[in-house]
Amino acid sequence: MIRSHKELLIRYSINQGMHCFSMGIVIPVMILALLDLGFNIGQVGIAMAVMGTTVLVLELPTGGLSDTLGRKRVYIIAVVFYIAGYLLILAAGTFIILLAAVILIGTGRALSSGSIDAWFVDEHKRLGGDDRHLQKDLAVAGVVIPMALGAGTLAGGIIPDISGTIRTNIVVLILLYIVQIFLTLVVIKERTDSFSKNLADGFLNFPHVLGSAMKYGIRQRNVFAILLATAALGIGLSGLEQLWQPHIRNISPGTGTWVLGLLATGYFVSAAVGNALSSRILNLAGNRYVPVLLSFRLLMGVFYILLSFSTRTGSFAPIYFILLFTHGITESPEMTVYNRDIPSDKRSSLLSLNSLFLQAGGAAGAVAAGQIALKASIPAAWVLSGGLLALSAFFYLLIREPSNENKIQSRG
């Protein structure tokens, strides 16, 4: 049994830090690895689309499973799906096998989404932590996790130079995921009395759990406000992530890939710094969440628009980093507000619903930004995305103080 918030935070950070470090191993080379296996760029594009669609379709159902079968059990199943998918990629000799592999990986992503996060918040509530304490712990995790992802990405770029082949990254990833299963069994301690002990019972119960969670998410005012803001964030971030590298090449044609690598690393570092300072900023604001969320989402939109006017890498980089810094500041306060209005028995489903809104917004934003960039320009796409992000700040004005029934209570 976990006895303190410090112990809980350490266990959560170890699990999610290891998870993100492992993911980072293939981030720099995944597309290149598939090309190295003999697939063409068109096939790779289809495979990535299939993976994304799999996650989108299964996001909510798998969240319901986590609420019925248990977060730890579902997360371990997710890691098994990851291992199976990447093993299949190594053996992929045909396009059909590749599609089967990315479906397995997409299923793993959907299963893992929100499962351990839900466990963390539930344990935090059980230990009697209040909103302020939860936000601080989420902010600490918000520093550890992106830094772990950044470290994994850095390692993923080095491994092929040492081994001489990109495929080594996938082998290392599989080994790390095997370690992760045993690490999760040791680190994650979960009370199982509220979950179905029988897998068949869990599958039978999850449609009811899922339907109940969706109704709650739409009807509960605070939760729905966050969902709308999350969808807007997905639209904005997808346009940024999709187009920043082409924009750099347009404004600075001679830019080396090492510069792109530094900017990519700065993405994670800037978000981590924002998370690190979020608690202090909340203190300065009298621990009022809505003004902080509104102000920094508005600033994020403004800096996004300013980014579209950058004409050199030297002017792009600081605006880009500040934009991501403002995003990092909002992450833990937003998830604190979201989680304090979610009952424990619906938590994983509603965290998956939040992820679904983010991904749906991201998909819509990727298509829209790509078309606007094609027919007009990348800056035009960013002006529209930035304007939408700035306007989405006003969704936070819909948030009201939570009821005593759902608010995380402080001890004593």
SS (H, E, C) 41-79: HHHHHHHHHHHHHHHHHHHHHHHHHHHHHCHHHHHHHHH
Instruction: Return mean pLDDT, the chain.
Output: 84
**pLDDT score at 96:** 93
Three-state DSSP class for residue 323: helix
For the stretch 224-247, pLDDT in tens is 999 999 999 999 888 888 788 788
Three-state DSSP class for residue 409: coil
For the stretch 19-69, pLDDT in tens is 999 998 887 777 778 888 888 877 887 888 788 888 888 877 777 777 778
For the stretch 188-237, pLDDT in tens is 988 766 565 555 555 555 566 667 767 887 888 888 999 999 999 999 88
Is residue 54 a contact partner of residue 102, using CB atoms and an 8 Å limit?
A: yes
The span from the CA of 183 to the CA of 120, in Å, is 16
Is residue 46 a contact partner of residue 94, using CB atoms and an 8 Å limit?
A: no
Is residue 379 a contact partner of residue 244, using CB atoms and an 8 Å limit?
A: no
Residue 258 has pLDDT above 70, yes or no: no
pTM: 0.77
Question: Which is more confidently placed, 295 or 34?
Answer: 295
Is residue 239 a contact partner of residue 366, using CB atoms and an 8 Å limit?
A: yes
- Write the burial class of residue 313 (CB in 10 Å: 0-12 exposed, 13-18 middle, 19+ buried): middle
Q: Which one-letter amino acid corresponds to residue 193?
A: D
In this structure, is the dihedral angle defined by the CA atoms of residues 14, 157, 114 and 223, taken in order, positive or negative? positive
* Mean pLDDT of all residues in 11-16: 94
**pLDDT score at 409:** 40
Give the residue ranges of DSSP H helices in 164-288. Answer: 167-187, 199-219, 221-251, 257-284
Phi and psi (nearest 5°) for 299? -65, -40
Is residue 178 a contact partner of residue 83, using CB atoms and an 8 Å limit?
A: yes
The span from the CA of 313 to the CA of 306, in Å, is 14
The span from the CA of 206 to the CA of 211, in Å, is 8
Is residue 289 a contact partner of residue 377, using CB atoms and an 8 Å limit?
A: no
Phi and psi (nearest 5°) for 349? -60, -40
> Taking the chain, what is the end-to-end CA distance rounded to the nearest angstrom?
21
The span from the CA of 294 to the CA of 92, in Å, is 47
Reference 172, options 16, 14, 23; nearest CA is: 23
Per the structure block, which two tokens stand in for 299? 């600033």
SS3 of 348-371: the string is HHHHHHHHHHHHHHHHHHHHHHHH
The span from the CA of 263 to the CA of 270, in Å, is 10
Task: Give the list of residues 6+ apart from residue 17 with CB closer than 8 angstroms, or none.
Answer: 144, 145, 148
> How many other C-beta atoms are found inside a 10 Å radius of the C-beta of residue 233?
24
Is residue 176 a contact partner of residue 25, using CB atoms and an 8 Å limit?
A: yes
